[in-house]
Homo-oligomer: A and B are copies of this chain.
Amino acid sequence: MNADPKFLSTHATVDAAAVAPLPNSRKVYVAGSRPDLRVPMREIHQSDTPASFGFEPNPPVWVYDTSGPYTDPQASIDIRSGLACPRAGWIRERGDTEALAGPTSAYGLERLNDPKLAELRFQLHRKPRRALPGRNVTQMHYARQGIVTPEMEFVAIRENLRRQEYLRTLADAGPTGQRMAALLGRQHPGQSFGASIPAEITPEFVRDEIARGRAILPANINHPESEPMIIGRNFLVKINANIGNSAVTSSIGEEVEKMTWAIRWGGDTVMDLSTGKHIHETREWIIRNSPVPIGTVPLYQALEKVHGKAEELTWEIYRDTLIEQAEQGVDYFTIHAGVRLPFVPMTANRLTGIVSRGGSIMAKWCLAHHKESFLYTRFDEICEIMKAYDVAFSLGDGLRPGSIYDANDEAQLAELKTLGELTQIAWRHDVQTMIEGPGHVPLHMVKENMDLQLEQCHEAPFYTLGPLTTDIAPGYDHITSGIGAANIGWYGTAMLCYVTPKEHLGLPDKNDVKDGIITYKIAAHAADLAKGHPGAQIRDNALSKARFEFRWADQFNLGLDPDKARAFHDETLPKESSKVAHFCSMCGPHFCSMKITQEVRDYAARQGIAEPGAALAQGMQVKAVEFMRRGAELYHKE
């Protein structure tokens, strides 16, 4: 049973676990240039360094926060009314859109007027918006006209995480603060393979990256609930979480909870891949309650409309589906327009053929009609729809390899080249575009994917699924793919689509969603460190300092999953006293390497060898950014 009236009628909030703030964390908002521009971040508080390690206060650490209002105790959450709309005013004041009388898609109207759906339907009182005739409302269009939108300023502030103010404030607080700033701000110089990551992200830089197509800011005008974020090689690496019910399992309520659960742990965008009944209604509930961009594969729903018979798909049905979803507020569409008739036979020699659902649907259609794909022939018309709502393209890799055997083969690379051609068409319409990538690829062939994508898709953001670096671990494909994801993220991929432990075996439940998210947050952060993304190392430095000083709670709370870290520690040393114990279960109280290290340090200090950071703090400039830039050299000079 897909519907879930009980949930919809009575279940006004998501489960407590998904809305409680994380331990010792506080939701903070950084003000932009206008009162309605408030950028959310998470402030993690730390305890002081114990006297045995030389007392000092430890500053809170600011981290990127995707969880939206759900972790803000001030916000009242009622999923029946949906989230507040931070972007509504920005969209309206641009004066280039109009509120429609109602849905303009045939299917949207049909669902709206179907009384049987009353109890399932989200009660939206707002009308859908569309660009005024002849207007283009994409962020890329504004960017190319030199306009810095509030959305662009929002992501600039968001990406910086107040790093410079943070370190400067510390450095201004006397020698201890200077030491702390030098220590936390210190970072290894990265290897970014030709990316152009600035020391600080300015709104103008954001505009320029979007204008040249190197980044996208998915922001459908019908999704004013969203908090702007950016996807591009010169920004923090992002991750996507897939949710969605299928013919065999799960309900609307479960999918909304999966979404809130996914963003709690760090999902930057969420794709709703539902294939079952009530796709339209499920999607509405998800979008109205989502602070992150929502992506879909419209082809899945179009297929439902022709009862799963791919050959019966028509451009008209597909077109109506695009409009239906654009007017609900979907922020990006996966469109498999690169699956062309001549490429289909190239897959016959594969071990695992076509594993992408969208790719196989279009392949079947092409063969049944022996005609070129309508997604390819109608691409200009699709662009017209995208720019009327600012839906971004995620050009699907319908011919991605489904096994190590098929990696980087003729079919895959032929499609990639076509996606590059389509990117240029989309850009002629000022439509934001990213490119989807594989799949299953052995470690040594991953970089070829990135290099070809950069070259053939003109630096449009790459958005990859893993890749999985081996086929032999069903049940652990979050790990087989997390390895590939960290590598391709390092090489330049802008967003990593997570894979859960259930990949190839079943549909993910909430535990699987969390495992997938945390694994991909690890991959994305490992990539940020490897690229040398400014400030990426602050959290590592703070956590390791806490670890060294036996500040157990701080170590848990600075991690990606404080709950699990604490639970694991409890298994061996459950007593609360152990959380301040100056030993750990690995060595026990009897002997402890950290303790000995402290003695080494005291000895060295007596010999006049400076403590961590002190060497850097001596004679450093006041500007905190400087430490970071110079950190590298100092590091080598030491």
Contacts and interface: CB of A to CB of B under 8 A. Distances in A.
A308 B587 CA distance: 11
A453 interface: no
A479 interface: yes
A554 to B, nearest CB: 11
A540 interface: yes
Interface string A570-592: 01110000000000111111110
A93 interface: no
Interface string A595-637: 0111111011101011110110000000000000000000100
A347 interface: yes
A188 B518 contact: no
A161 interface: no
16 contacts: A345-B603, A349-B610, A352-B545, A353-B601, A355-B594, A360-B593, A363-B596, A364-B596, A405-B537, A469-B530, A471-B547, A473-B522, A479-B522, A501-B568, A506-B569, A506-B585
Contacts of A13: none
B308 A561 contact: no
Interface in A457-505: 469-476, 479-480, 482-483, 486-487, 490, 501-502, 504-505
A615 B356 CA distance: 24
A523 interface: yes
A354 interface: yes
A453 to B, nearest CB: 19
A548 interface: yes
A91 interface: no
Given A353-B600, A355-B597, A590-B308, A522 B480 contact: yes
Interface stretch (A78-86, A226-234, A441-449): A441-449
Contact of A585 (B248, B572, B612): B248
A359 interface: yes
Contacts of A525: 470, 472
Nearest to A486: B483
A543 interface: yes
Interface in A542-572: 543-545, 547-548, 555-556, 558-561, 564-565, 567-569, 571-572
B558 A518 contact: no
Given A361-B596, A443-B486, A473-B522, A348 B611 contact: yes
B472 A560 contact: yes
A206 interface: no
Contacts of A565: 474-475, 505
Given A353-B597, A507-B585, A568-B502, A188 B442 contact: yes
Contacts of A262: none
B519 A479 contact: yes
Q: Rank and list the top 7 A-B pairs by shortest CB-CB distance, nearest first.
A: A353-B597, A348-B604, A247-B588, A506-B572, A403-B544, A443-B530, A475-B564
Contacts of A545: 351-352
B483 A404 contact: no
A72 B522 CA distance: 39
A410 interface: yes
A440 B186 CA distance: 16
A476 B186 CA distance: 24
Contacts of A567: 475
Nearest to A515: B476
Contact of A470 (B186, B352, B487, B529): B529
Given A246-B585, A469-B529, A475 B568 contact: yes
A405 B363 contact: no
A594 B356 CA distance: 9
A462 B131 CA distance: 61
Contacts of A361: 591, 593, 596
Interface string A111-155: 000000000000000000000000000000000000000000000
